């Protein structure tokens, strides 16, 4: 359970939940045959880029500390 709080404190968990939520929304619209708004796609790509950017930054910080 401490890993959960650690991920929540680093906001990694929140970023992942946001990215998955937007992905589910985009896929739902695609499967329903409706057009996907550009704002929704741009928001998804922004959150996804930020998510992977912070993950790589945290990996570098952990490697430097060791």
CA distance 54 to 35: 31
How confident is the prediction along the chain (66 residues), in pLDDT tens digits per residue? 677 777 666 677 787 888 899 999 999 999 999 999 999 999 999 988 888 888 888 788 888 987
Total residue count of the chain as it appears in this document: 66
pLDDT of amino acid 9? 65
Statement: the pTM of the whole predicted model exceeds 0.85: no
**Cβ distance 50 to 22 under 8 Å?**
no
């Amino acid at each position: 359970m401490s890993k959960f709080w650690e991920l929540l404190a680093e906001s990694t968990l929140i970023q992942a939940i946001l990215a998955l939520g937007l992905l589910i929304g985009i896929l739902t619209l695609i499967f329903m045959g409706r057009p996907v708004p550009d704002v929704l796609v741009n928001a998804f790509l922004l959150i996804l880029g930020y998510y992977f950017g912070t993950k790589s930054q945290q990996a570098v910080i952990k490697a430097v500390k060791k």
